[in-house]
Amino acid sequence: MNQGPFESTESIWVATAPSTDYPPVSGELAVDVAVIGGGIAGLTVAALLKEGGRTVAVIESERVGHGVT
């Protein structure tokens, strides 16, 4: 089945951004805050916490920025 121009299930920024792969965390990781979810909401919270001086880890099972907040 063909998709029309407005039927994509992928956001424009995910579709056009280069793919990045991050290695899984191994061992212990000590941070002030762990943000679960690397969608736009999780990344925004992580960036604001980082600007506020916190150490932050973003935990994402899929592609960062892929979530549908």
pLDDT in tens, 12-57: 777 787 777 778 888 899 999 999 998 889 999 999 999 999 999 9
In a domain, 23, yes or no: no
Task: Calculate the alpha carbon distances from 22 to 5, 9, 25, 26, 58 in Å.
Answer: 31, 23, 9, 12, 11
Query: 10: buried, middle or exposed (CB in 10 Å: 19+, 13-18, 0-12)?
Result: exposed
Average pLDDT, integer, range 6-10: 66
Domain that holds residue 40: 30-69
Q: Is residue 65 part of a domain?
A: yes
Binned at pLDDT 50, 70 and 90, residue 62 comes out as confident
Q: What are phi and psi of 35, to 5 degrees?
A: -100, 125
Helix (H) or strand (E) holding 13: helix 12-16
- Whether 43 is covered by a domain: the verdict is yes
pTM above 0.75, yes or no: no
Asked if residue 44 belongs to a domain, the reply is: yes
CB 21 within 8 A of CB 66: no
| Number of domains the chain is built from | 1
- Is residue 49 assigned to a domain? yes
